[in-house]
Structure 1
Amino acid sequence: MWVQTMTENQMEWSRKRDELVSAVKQLGFPRELGEQIAKQLGSPKAMDRMLAYLYNVKPRTAELIVDEMLAICSDIDNWHNKKAAEEANARYNQMLYYGLGAEETD
């Protein structure tokens, strides 16, 4: 019989998802909202940001929760884009400094 065990990262994601779902339910919203928020955020770090918002602000509408989720997702996308641009810039500068490689001679 095949038994699959969860990795440490999967267990952490699962714990954060459960905490997020619980926090959303404690505010009076459906469990499904918390599950979808966790799914969209995707990482324990992003879920921590959402949990901090939920615990400190205690939003009264689902729209406020979704708006915060979208803001967190936007921040993450912006960070990824910045890192990609920095990497591309570093490679470009390296190309300028070292050239395109050894020149071939016939």
Structure 2
Amino acid sequence: MTENQIEWSRKRDELVSAVAKLGFPKELGEQIAKQLGSPKAMDRMLAYLYNVKPRTAELVVDEMLAICSDIDSWHSKKAAEEANARYNEMLYYGLGTEDEES
């Protein structure tokens, strides 16, 4: 296993344990970990679980969806910034198809 896989596995186990300690099924924690997908996102979820201690599964899932939405928004923002940078390069340098006449 790579270092990233080990870290992901460790965070998944911590998340599953935290969900189980709140009285929810371990399977819920496993599905949440799978949906979040990254150790950083799982850290955000863990912070929520430890600080808020939600009483219903709906609150847990709602927070997971909010975290996923934030991640999707961040990805969209980065893609838009990249596209804008490429567009600005094209405006500045042109398409490179003009015939240069000297």
Shift of 1:104: 3.9
Q: 1:34 is matched with which residue: 5, 29, 32?
A: 29
Question: Aligned partners of 1:102 and 1:32: how far apart in 2?
Answer: 57
- Show the counterpart of 2:86: 91
The number of residues matched between the two structures is: 100
Structure 2 counterpart of 1:45, one-letter code: K
Q: 1:24 is matched with which residue: 19, 29, 52?
A: 19
Root-mean-square deviation (CA), in Å? Answer: 0.9
> Which runs of 4 or more aligned residues in structure 1 lie more than 4 Å from their structure 2 counterparts after TM superposition?
none
Shift of 1:103: 2.2
Please list every run of 5 or more consecutive structure 1 residues that lacks an aligned counterpart in the other structure.
1-5
- TM-score (structure 2 length as normaliser): 0.96
Please list every run of 5 or more consecutive structure 2 residues that lacks an aligned counterpart in the other structure.
none
Question: Aligned partners of 1:54 and 1:104: how far apart in 2?
Answer: 62
Shift of 1:102: 4.4
- Show the counterpart of 1:72: 67
Shift of 1:88: 0.1
